[in-house]
Structure 1
Amino acid sequence: MEFDQVIKNRRSIRKFHQQAVETEKITAILDCARLCQSAKNRQPWRFMVLTEDRKNRVADIMLNLFEQNDVELHGYMNSSRNSANIIKNAPVLILVFIPKDEEWIQSDLLSVGAAIEHICLKAVNEGLGSVWIADTVYTREGICEELGRTDDLLVSGIAVGYADEQPSPRPRKTLEEIILK
Structure 2
Amino acid sequence: MELEEVIRQRRSIRKFKSTPIEEAKLEKLIEAARLCPSAKNRQPWRFMILKAEIKDQIADIMLQLFESHDEKLPGYVNSSRYTAEIIKTAPVLILVLREADELWTTGDLLSIGAAIEHIGLAAVDLGLGSLWIRDTGYTEKEITELIGYPELQLVSAIALGYPAEHPEPRPRKPQEALLLHYRKH
TM-score computed with the length of structure 2 as normaliser = 0.96
Choose 33-42 or 63-72, whichever is displaced more.
Answer: 63-72
- State how 1:50-89 maps to structure 2 within 5 Å: 50-70=50-70, 72-89=72-89
Give the whole-Å Cα distance in 1 for the aligned partners of 2:72 and 2:141.
18
Give the whole-Å Cα distance in 2 for the aligned partners of 1:71 and 1:110.
34
Q: Deviation at 1:70?
A: 4.1
When the two chains are superposed, the root-mean-square deviation of aligned CA atoms in Å is 0.8
What are the ranges of 5 or more consecutive residues in structure 2 without an aligned counterpart?
Answer: none
* Letter of the 2:102 counterpart: E
C-alpha distance after superposition, 1:140-173 (max 9, x if no partner):
0000000011110000000000000010011000
- State how 1:116-135 maps to structure 2 within 5 Å: 116-135=116-135
Taking every aligned residue pair, what percent have the same amino acid on both sides? 57
Contact 1:36 1:114 in 2 (8 A): yes
Is residue 151 of structure 2 the alignment partner of residue 154 of structure 1? no
What are the ranges of 5 or more consecutive residues in structure 1 without an aligned counterpart?
Answer: none
Give the whole-Å Cα distance in 1 for the aligned partners of 2:73 and 2:84.
15
Q: Larger C-alpha radius of gyration, 1 or 2?
A: 2
Aligned counterpart, 1:2: 2
* Letter of the 2:88 counterpart: K
Aligned counterpart, 1:98: 98
SS of residue in 2 equivalent to 1:12: coil
Structure 1 segments of 4 or more deviating over 3 A? 69-72
C-alpha distance after superposition, 1:103-124 (max 9, x if no partner):
1111100000000000000000
SS of residue in 2 equivalent to 1:140: helix
